[in-house]
Structure 1
Amino acid sequence: MGNDPAFLFYPGDYLRDTQCLGENTQVAYDRIMCEHMRNICITQKQLKFFTKRLNEDEKEELMFTLTKINGGYQIEWVALSIVKRKAYSESRRKNSTKKEEIISKTYDNHMDNEIKDEDKSINESGIVKEIIEDLNFVLGSDYRTSSNKTKELIKSRLNEGFTLDDFKIVHRKMLKSWGNNPEMCKYLRPITLYSNKFESYRNQMETSSVLNQSGIKAYLIGQEWLKKHGGSDVK
């Protein structure tokens, strides 16, 4: 598959998934990724094999990078590349009697349409941009609005009926809840905050806590943004 021009390896997607993983977790992720590139998904049996050396915290960390489907688990960007590879192979088969330049043009048009169709529905409203901009203001971070995994998670929560205001509340509540804990600060990121635990984060009771230095910085940045835009702190 490495020589197949339709299998697209995006370094940005890989780094997005692995930048916050521990050493042991990343080793397991890499092994799963390599196996996944040969199959549409990773089975439960395979997942158990690849994670047998991980502790419970490392397993939980790894699961944030996987999407559960019928029959197993997927890495979102790898699964998308497999779909595109199959579409390309089918397109090439149908056009095998045509000139090479026509095949190339057909493939390029096909890939462009795939990407446009994928992004159209969720980008039209601009809500992804608003949500990520708010998260970046609150945390002082620089997460991208173009991340497919982030868009998928946000769309899932929106389909459940949550609104922009719910996302803003979660950003501020979880900063206060995790900002004083060095072990939890690393989970202040889209892949965790927008997971299927979003509702529990939204309804979590706030606790009074003393923020550490990085937590204070992120909180103050968020407060400045709220003042600038006429908002108020979450009470």
Structure 2
Amino acid sequence: MGNDPAFLFYPGDYLRDTQCLGENTQVAYDRIMCEHMRNICITQKQLKFFTKRLNEDEKEELMFTLTKINGGYQIEWVALSIVKRKAYSESRRKNSTKKEEIISKTYDNHMDNEIKDEDKSINESGIVKEIIEDLNFVLGSDYRTSSNKTKEFIKSRLNEGFTLDDFKIVHRKMLKSWGNNPEMCKYLRPITLYSNKFESYRNQMETSSVLNQSGIKAYLIGQEWLKKHGGSDVK
């Protein structure tokens, strides 16, 4: 990436990943983001270097924001932005000898397509509402369907080809796996469940479950009781 190190910085993507991170974890995240300017793939050796000052909880927190790829890890939105920037720069270079009006039209069409892609509403099908309602039903929580951050996560997973049924499966699998674990139940939330680890949650073996069907029923009854009596643990 040496000839064209720039990439488009999307504040929404950055805040989505970092706003819940601790200070030390965010520093490591920022350093990995900068390293992407040189390497699209962060090797295991590099990751070990960037996380050497983190404790185990901070390392686990950071891993929720990284995507595992062949040869290492990456911050997904940064890697995609760099690839798009490189492709766009190459397109501009090839078009540099054409007439100005042709270049302008190409650029306008490119930007129009980008805007259309960004502005496409996934709420038209009502799938966001269905996904969050199912999550709230399973967890006894009260997450909002209007949350932009939650919608961004859902959109990313839908663009990868996942369906409503996949989300429902993840809700139930991860409740079974984490619902009875005090250290992990705090991660039963959209920012974690719909992260770039969604596929691994979807394919997690049932044998890793902590709660059985009776346990889930008891959990839901308890959550409903907390809601009726003003409990604060339902979210």
Q: TM-score normalised by the shorter chain: which range applies?
A: 0.5 to 0.7
User: What TM-score do the two structures reach when normalised by structure 1?
Assistant: 0.62
Contact 2:174 2:201 in 1 (8 A): yes
> Equivalent residue of 2:45, what SS?
helix
Task: Evaluate the alpha carbon distance shift between residue 39 and residue 12 of structure 1 in structure 2; reply closer, same or farther with a 3 A threshold.
Answer: same
| Runs of 4+ deviating beyond 3 Å | 1-6, 99-102, 111-129, 132-186, 194-235
Decide which moves more: 20-29 or 201-210: 201-210
Cα deviation 1:102-142 (Å, max 9, x = unaligned): 42431342344467679989889664553245447877989
Cα deviation 1:174-214 (Å, max 9, x = unaligned): 67987898865652333422468769978999999999999
Decide which moves more: 9-18 or 215-224: 215-224
Cα deviation 1:48-101 (Å, max 9, x = unaligned): 110111112211111111111112211111011111111111111111113445
Contact 2:36 2:42 in 1 (8 A): yes
Decide which moves more: 162-171 or 176-185: 176-185
Shift of 1:12: 0.7
Decide which moves more: 219-228 or 119-128: 219-228
Cα deviation 1:132-153 (Å, max 9, x = unaligned): 4544787798989899997898
Aligned residues: CA RMSD: 7.4
Task: Evaluate the alpha carbon distance shift between residue 218 and residue 34 of structure 1 in structure 2; reply closer, same or farther with a 3 A threshold.
Answer: farther
Decide which moves more: 82-91 or 142-151: 142-151
Q: List gaps (5 residues or longer) in structure 2.
A: none
User: What TM-score do the two structures reach when normalised by structure 2?
Assistant: 0.62
Task: Evaluate the alpha carbon distance shift between residue 56 and residue 130 of structure 1 in structure 2; reply closer, same or farther with a 3 A threshold.
Answer: same
1:139-154 pair list within 5 angstroms:
none
Task: Evaluate the alpha carbon distance shift between residue 136 and residue 43 of structure 1 in structure 2; reply closer, same or farther with a 3 A threshold.
Answer: same
The whole-number CA distance in structure 1 between the counterparts of 2:12 and 2:139 is 21
Aligned to 1:22: 22
Task: Evaluate the alpha carbon distance shift between residue 196 and residue 170 of structure 1 in structure 2; reply closer, same or farther with a 3 A threshold.
Answer: same
Decide which moves more: 112-121 or 32-41: 112-121
The whole-number CA distance in structure 1 between the counterparts of 2:118 and 2:94 is 23
Task: Evaluate the alpha carbon distance shift between residue 171 and residue 6 of structure 1 in structure 2; reply closer, same or farther with a 3 A threshold.
Answer: same
The whole-number CA distance in structure 1 between the counterparts of 2:214 and 2:30 is 30
Decide which moves more: 104-113 or 53-62: 104-113
Cα deviation 1:16-53 (Å, max 9, x = unaligned): 00111111111100100111133322122111110111
% identical aligned pairs: 100
